[in-house]
Structure 1
Amino acid sequence: MVTVSDRQISLSRTVAAPAGQIFDLLADPARHPELDGSGSVRGSLSQGPRRLSLGARFGMRMRLGLPYTIQNTVVEFEEGRLIAWRHFSGHRWRWQLTDLGDGRTEVTETFDWSTAGSPRAIELLRFPGRNRRGIEATLDRLATRFG
């Protein structure tokens, strides 16, 4: 399922794994390259927590044409259900997990640029379309990984 609303794109997929197992992957920044479908996440920086929590700050090594690093802050957190982090410009990546029973979970990933300092710049740089494709690939990877 795809939802596009005011400066947000959300995609959902049912994954054959318990929510806790998926959440453990999301809450460990060192494992983010394992799930990234965009190809831009290269690894975590050595400083930062091993497991994310509300208010945690963590850095990632990235590549989008050129290599760079980015700092993130966890701004939403409910153990096993919800985690979101904000980049320096204010946009958010949000993951919501809904336990469907029988070891299945509905996973929803959202790119939310409504909170960005300059949402129009994000649109002019065409990040919404690029990130939608990345989310689709990420959810495909999750489904395959736990399938």
Structure 2
Amino acid sequence: MATKKVSRSVVIAAPAEKIFDVLASPHRHPEFDGSGTVKGQIRGPERLELGAEFGMDMRLGVGYRITNRVVEFAPDRLITWRHFGPHRWRWELEPLPDGTTRVTETFDYSASRVAFAYQLAGLPSRNARSIEQTLPRLKHLVEDAA
């Protein structure tokens, strides 16, 4: 049985607080997006919190605008957002004993009533590839700033 979630992890040589600062700043999202869909014109607060909304210009074949809302938030440990659809993008940060942090990004489409359509459209594998490109970008962004 499929979990209807796609997750990948990376270990970053930085404390969770530093990584979370980047994730919680919607204006920085284009810097680490590996999907190539997040474009400029970020709208919203400088720092996200539970219930905060932020929007951005996107491009997936054609340009469009999307608004996201933060639906889970634990400072320096967890941030999750979603837009009008039920799927979520979740970031979990796990501090490790050596001072590094394991960062896990998850595309969760388990709440979708049309999960089969996601699968037919190839979204899980496309999102896996995007995560596999995003995490190294985030790693370099944070580690290079140190």
The question of a shared fold, defined as TM-score above 0.5 by the shorter chain, is answered with yes
The structure 2 residue matched to 1:130, chosen from 122, 126, 129, is 126
2: CA distance between counterparts of 1:70 and 1:120? 23
Q: How does 1:1-147 map to 2 (within 5 A)?
A: 5-46=2-43, 48-145=44-141, 146=143
- Residue segments in structure 2 that go unaligned for 5+ positions in a row: none
2: CA distance between counterparts of 1:35 and 1:14? 15
Between Structure 1 and Structure 2, which shows a larger proportion of strand residues?
1
Q: Which amino acid aligns with 1:50?
A: E
2: CA distance between counterparts of 1:25 and 1:118? 32
Count of aligned pairs between the two proteins? 143
- Which deviations, in whole Å up to 9, do the C-alpha atoms of 1:16-56 show, x marking residues without a partner? 1111111001001110001101111112433x211111111
- Which deviations, in whole Å up to 9, do the C-alpha atoms of 1:51-104 show, x marking residues without a partner? 111111111111111111111111100000000001211100000001114431
Runs of 4+ in 1 over 3 A off after TM superposition: none
Question: Once superposed, what is the RMSD of the aligned Cα atoms?
Answer: 1.6
Q: How far apart are residue 121 of structure 1 and its match? A: 2.0
Do 1:29 and 1:44's aligned partners in 2 also have CA atoms closer than 8 Å? Answer: no
TM-score, normalising length: structure 1: 0.90
TM-score, normalising length: structure 2: 0.91
2: CA distance between counterparts of 1:30 and 1:44? 8
Q: Which amino acid aligns with 2:106?
A: T
User: Structure 1 vs Structure 2: percent identity of aligned residues?
Assistant: 55
